[in-house]
Structure 1
Amino acid sequence: MEKRVPVFFFAPFVSSTMRVSPAWIDYNGHMNMAYYHVLFDRAVEEGFGLVGLGQDYLEERKASFFAAEIHTLYKRELKARDEVRVTLQLVDYDEKRIHYYLEIRHAVEGWVAATMEGLSLHMDMKTRKVSPFPDDIAANLAVMKAAHARLARPQTLGRVIGIPTRRDLLEPALAGGTRH
Structure 2
Amino acid sequence: MPDAAPFLSSYHRVEEGWIDYNGHMNMGYYTVLFDRCADEAFAEMGFGPDYAAARNLTTFSAEFHIRYLREVKLGDRVYSTFHLLDHDAKRFHSFQELYHEDGWLAATGEGLTLHVDLSGPRVAPMPEDVQARVARMAQAHATLPTPDGVGRRIGISRKG
Q: Which range, TM-score by smaller chain? A: over 0.9
Aligned pairs for 1:30-41 (under 5 A) are: 30-41=24-35
Which SS does the other structure have where 2:53 is aligned? helix
2:20 alignment partner in structure 1:
26
Task: Spell out, residue by residue over 1:113-145, the C-alpha distance to the aligned partner (whole angstroms, 9 max, x if none).
Answer: 000000010000111000001100110111100
Q: Is the 8 A contact 1:9 1:143 kept in 2?
A: no
Separation in 2 of the partners of 1:38 and 1:99? 18
Aligned pairs for 1:29-178 (under 5 A) are: 29-107=23-101, 109-167=102-160
Task: Spell out, residue by residue over 1:41-73, the C-alpha distance to the aligned partner (whole angstroms, 9 max, x if none).
Answer: 001111011111111100000000000011110
- CA apart distance, 1:155: 2.1
Which SS does the other structure have where 2:45 is aligned? coil
Task: Spell out, residue by residue over 1:22-53, the C-alpha distance to the aligned partner (whole angstroms, 9 max, x if none).
Answer: 21110001000011011000011110111111
Separation in 2 of the partners of 1:11 and 1:56? 25
Separation in 2 of the partners of 1:54 and 1:10? 21
Give the number of the structure whose alpha-carbon radius of gyration is greater.
1
- CA apart distance, 1:9: 4.2
- CA apart distance, 1:10: 2.3
Separation in 2 of the partners of 1:9 and 1:142? 14
Q: Which runs of 5+ in 2 are unaligned?
A: none
Same amino acid, percent of matched pairs = 49
Which SS does the other structure have where 2:150 is aligned? coil
- CA apart distance, 1:150: 1.6
Q: How many matched pairs?
A: 160
Which SS does the other structure have where 1:81 is aligned? coil
